[in-house]
């Protein structure tokens, strides 16, 4: 006897499948601060990045299946480079990239047997705080314009609730990192894991980067090592030490090298 499933049931099954895959990933917080846009991801890997530069003032963050969002990241870089070369670098905007990603994800969701198990954020830093743009895209190509912050991955509800209570507009970098780390630490490692208590996230468990508003040309900068350690809350209150003069900071991204490949959730 032939089997039949309605289009609505097929879409529901695909949505549930994608959501379960995304929920297994570690969380990412993206938020606006006084100097630009901050990215903080729970990520113990030093080579499989969840946050990356796309173009001069545009960056990308993702959760879910690494091999799938890495494919999207590379496609976004190629699209931005080609558009900037063919027209003008000013024609490469976050909204243009988001529209392209939405079309790609929507096509995959409706036409392929398995949807991408990914959720991504595209952020663009502006010349003034009011001009920063953050977009969240889901597995089916839906676009959400987020004015202040984005939360993705597992334990989204608890992290978003904590972030809503602690986020303030115009925070300095150290305060913004403290808020992001505190909200990530407030959620258990995974659904049903542990006793639900707060965890401690240190330099070895975090991937941190910023889009700096006043940085010329390439606004993306990674923060790691001693520079990140100095900015992390030292007593759980959000206070941080002064950043060192150098060390642990890198300008721009590492291009196409050093990112490896894989198919697990990240």
Q: Does residue 259 form part of some domain? A: no
Token representation of residue 259: 């990112």
Please report the pLDDT score of residue 96 as a whole number. 97
What per-residue confidence (pLDDT) applies to 233?
A: 79
pLDDT score, position 262: 43
Number of domains present in the structure of the chain: 1
Contacts of 52 by beta carbon, 8 Å cutoff, 6+ apart: 59, 60, 61, 73, 253, 259
User: Residue 160: its pLDDT value, please?
Assistant: 95
| Euclidean distance between CA atoms 265 and 125, whole angstroms | 28
Residue 260 lies in a domain: no
pLDDT at 2: 53
Looking up residue 54, the CATH number of its domain turns out to be 3.60.20.10
Residue 263 lies in a domain: no
CA 150 – CA 165 distance, rounded (Å): 14
Provide the whole-model pTM.
0.86
Report the alpha-carbon distance of residue 145 to residue 153 in Å, rounded: 17
Question: What whole-number distance in Å separates Cα of residue 94 and Cα of residue 56?
Answer: 11
- Structure confidence at residue 236 (pLDDT): 44
In a domain, 3, yes or no: no
Q: Can you say whether the dihedral through the CA atoms of 44, 46, 49, 51 is positive or negative?
A: positive
Structural domain contains residue 165: yes
Q: How far is CA 59 from CA 80, 91, 134, 194, 221, in A?
A: 11, 16, 10, 33, 10
Does any domain span residue 121?
A: yes
Tell whether 265 is covered by a domain: no
Q: What is the C-alpha separation between 57 and 25, in angstroms, rounded?
A: 26
In the prediction, which pLDDT does 7 show?
A: 86
Range of the domain at 238: 8-251
Pairwise CA distance, residues 44 & 66, whole Å: 14
Q: Are 210 and 250 in contact (CB under 8 A)?
A: no
96: exposed, middle or buried (C-beta count within 10 Å: 0-12, 13-18, 19+)? middle
pLDDT of residue 200: 84
Q: Which residues of the chain carry a pLDDT beneath 50?
A: 1, 191-195, 236-246, 255-263
């Amino acid at each position: 006897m032939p089997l039949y499933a309605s289009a609505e049931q097929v879409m529901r099954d695909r949505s549930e499948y994608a959501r379960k895959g995304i929920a297994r990933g570690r969380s990412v917080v993206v938020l606006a601060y006084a100097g630009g846009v901050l990215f903080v991801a729970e990520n113990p890997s030093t080579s499989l990045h969840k946050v990356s530069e796309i173009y001069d003032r545009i960056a990308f963050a993702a959760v879910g299946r690494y091999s799938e969002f890495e494919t999207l990241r590379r496609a976004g870089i190629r699209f931005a480079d080609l558009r900037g070369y063919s027209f003008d670098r000013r024609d490469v905007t976050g909204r243009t990239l988001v529209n392209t990603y939405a079309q790609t994800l929507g096509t995959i969701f409706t036409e392929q047997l398995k949807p991408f198990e990914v959720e991504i954020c595209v952020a663009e830093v502006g010349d003034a705080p009011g001009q920063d743009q953050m977009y969240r895209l889901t597995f089916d190509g839906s676009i959400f314009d987020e004015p202040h912050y984005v939360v993705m991955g597992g334990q989204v509800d608890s992290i978003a609730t904590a972030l809503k209570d602690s986020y303030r507009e115009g925070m300095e970098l150290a305060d913004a990192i403290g808020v992001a780390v505190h909200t990530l630490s407030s959620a258990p490692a995974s659904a049903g894991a542990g006793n639900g208590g707060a965890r401690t996230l240190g330099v070895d468990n975090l991937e941190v980067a910023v889009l700096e508003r006043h940085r010329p040309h390439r606004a993306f900068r990674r923060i790691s090592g001693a520079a990140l350690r100095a900015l992390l809350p030292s007593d759980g209150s959000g206070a941080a030490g002064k950043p060192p003069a150098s060390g642990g900071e890198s300008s721009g991204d590492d291009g196409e090298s050093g990112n490896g490949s894989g198919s697990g959730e990240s």
